[in-house]
Structure 1
Amino acid sequence: MNKEIKFYKYQGAGNDFVLIDNRNLAFNAADNDLIKQLCDRRFGIGGDGLMLLQDTKNFDFEMLYYNADGREGTMCGNGGRCLVAFARDLDIIQTNTAFLAVDGPHEAEIHDNQVNLGMIPVTEYQMDGEAYVLNTGSPHYVQFVDNLNQINMFKEGYAIRNNATYAEKGINVNFIEKEGEGYFVRTFERGVEDETYACGTGAVASAMSVALKEGRDGDFNIPIRVLGGQLYVSFHKAGNSFSKVFLTGPAIQVFKGSITL
């Protein structure tokens, strides 16, 4: 028997997602082929990923995130911000929230269409040549360049994501360039297997890499421009440890509809 599912489309700095209110558990989260189809830009709704908002104990809601390839993903920062806006629009929350994601609890606040999302602390990083490798809820490779507009992101990102070091589990590949008072970042995302207009955990990893490269401790608030807009990353750095990590940027409903499954 066919059933109709309501869906919502949100975007955060160009990172777009299919969102479903699954508090009634009517959507089958185990159907990876269906999720992949819904994220397909030609044969489905289209999105960089799909998220389910579900009930959970001790938190306002739970975030379940799936990559565009249909498989459950690691933390998505821009997705988290969009789900906070979705929860506000559903009247689940007002301004402040605490929710549960795959990498643990998150706090956030929303004002109009701007969401300030708390991210996990980071206590270690590695170097791969001159590139920084960090896990900010998802694994990221960050390389500083001075020709970002000329880089073939699919070719270069694909090569790193699929090299002998990262091929098995995959990694998100970021290139970062100084730009005025802030930085410009472009990201090749695993799961999407292409460049996206924004990546929240990638923006966080890139900002942390700036602080590591500069070798400075203290409080940081770093503007990160992405293809889809402007993000801001703030944190406190002490040695190799980052705490009080926040990702700030827009989260906007694009449209809503229903689809028969």
Structure 2
Amino acid sequence: MDLEAVCGPSVPFFKMQGCGNDFVCVDNRELGYDPADMPDMVVAVCRRAFGVGADGMIFLDQAPAGSGLAYIWHFFNADGSRAEMCGNGSRCAARLAWMLGLAPASHVFGTDAGPIEAVVDPDSSQVTVRLTDPKDLRMDLTVEIEHQELPLHFVNTGVPHAVAVVEDLEAVEVWKLGRAVRFHEFFKPAGTNVNFVAVEGPGRLSLRTYERGVEDETYACGTGAVASAVVARKLGLTGEETVITTTGGEELGVILKDGKTYLRGAAELVFTGAFFPQSLGLDL
């Protein structure tokens, strides 16, 4: 049977995951979708059970001539909101670009947060990215949640992150508490991602994150891992290098050295396929 005759034209995609943070990736160089049309596609494709299902969607695109970039990306959260940066997404994008021959193992690509340096290990699934410098660090904040004061710290690692250091990570009601902080008056209008972090030993943290845009706890968050490491180092809990165990059980490495910020971890191509926009109610 000719599937496209029945279901309409299809769009090829790549399903990537970095520490359980999963993304639908599209090579947009020849498809040429207008970024203005992408949010509707993202919402339909990322919807679990009814679409492919993902935490977000990445479109790889041609870099402007003379920019010195290997490519640019358009990154969207599952709710269709465009995000400046995503740590795990950047590692997935870099490895996919290398696999597609779009970029060499060591390259620079463009994001809304600025250029990102990436190094793909050709012999493993490990990818290291240099993220934009953390900014707007604010320590020892307090917000009121249901008549109780919650101590927080804040830093922007490409996107905004609140960080709470806790003793019993498993006991935290991440969806309830994270959602309350994410939409708290203090962080309006943009809102914030919310991280709950516990110290597991010298240079080791465990992390659970409520992600803005996904509006739920995710298996991992790269920029959240970096934010947690920045705060932990400021508090004297870790040093230049931190190993962070995510909800999915994977490990991310954060290196804060000589004023530079690096995130290291695995990025896997899980499967390839094609989705049918017409079946998702999309008119492209």
Regarding TM over 0.5, the answer is yes
Structure 1: gaps (5+ residues): 238-242
- SS of the counterpart of 2:185? coil
In structure 2, C-alpha distance between the alignment counterparts of 1:12 and 1:70, rounded to whole Å: 20
- Cα deviations across residues 118-152 of structure 1 (Å, max 9, x unaligned)? 00112441132232100000000001000111111
**AA of the residue aligned to 2:41:** L
Match of 2:213 among 184, 187, 191: 191
Partner of 1:117: 129
Match of 1:64 among 68, 74, 82: 74
Matches within 5 A, 1:14-93: 14-31=20-37, 32-57=39-64, 58-93=68-103
- Cα deviations across residues 166-186 of structure 1 (Å, max 9, x unaligned)? 242110000000113300011
Q: Return 79-88 or 19-28, whichever deviates more.
A: 19-28
Bigger radius of gyration, 1 or 2? Answer: 2
Q: Return 127-136 or 106-115, whichever deviates more.
A: 127-136
In structure 2, C-alpha distance between the alignment counterparts of 1:144 and 1:80, rounded to whole Å: 26
**AA of the residue aligned to 1:253:** L
In structure 1, C-alpha distance between the alignment counterparts of 2:11 and 2:35, rounded to whole Å: 13
- SS of the counterpart of 2:197? strand
**AA of the residue aligned to 2:269:** Q
In structure 1, C-alpha distance between the alignment counterparts of 2:237 and 2:21, rounded to whole Å: 31
Task: Please say if residues 63 and 80 of structure 1, whose CA atoms lie closer than 8 Å, have aligned partners that are also in contact.
Answer: no
In structure 2, C-alpha distance between the alignment counterparts of 1:42 and 1:74, rounded to whole Å: 27
Match of 1:223 among 236, 243, 251: 243
Partner of 1:102: 112
Structure 2: gaps (5+ residues): 1-6, 143-150, 278-284
What fraction of aligned residue pairs are identical, expressed as a percent? 38
**AA of the residue aligned to 1:119:** L
So what's the TM-score if we normalise by structure 2? 0.86
Alpha carbon RMSD of aligned pairs, Å? 1.7
**AA of the residue aligned to 2:92:** C
In structure 2, C-alpha distance between the alignment counterparts of 1:74 and 1:89, rounded to whole Å: 24
Partner of 1:252: 268
Question: 1:89: Cα distance to partner?
Answer: 1.1
Note closer, same or farther for the CA distance 1:47–1:21 as it changes in structure 2 (3 Å cut): same
Q: Return 24-33 or 130-139, whichever deviates more.
A: 24-33
- SS of the counterpart of 1:30? helix
In structure 1, C-alpha distance between the alignment counterparts of 2:263 and 2:199, rounded to whole Å: 19
Task: Please say if residues 15 and 269 of structure 2, whose CA atoms lie closer than 8 Å, have aligned partners that are also in contact.
Answer: yes
Question: 1:79: Cα distance to partner?
Answer: 0.2
In structure 1, C-alpha distance between the alignment counterparts of 2:104 and 2:70, rounded to whole Å: 11
Partner of 1:159: 180
In structure 1, C-alpha distance between the alignment counterparts of 2:194 and 2:173, rounded to whole Å: 12
In structure 2, C-alpha distance between the alignment counterparts of 1:17 and 1:103, rounded to whole Å: 19
- SS of the counterpart of 1:165? helix
- SS of the counterpart of 2:230? helix
Task: Please say if residues 74 and 137 of structure 1, whose CA atoms lie closer than 8 Å, have aligned partners that are also in contact.
Answer: yes
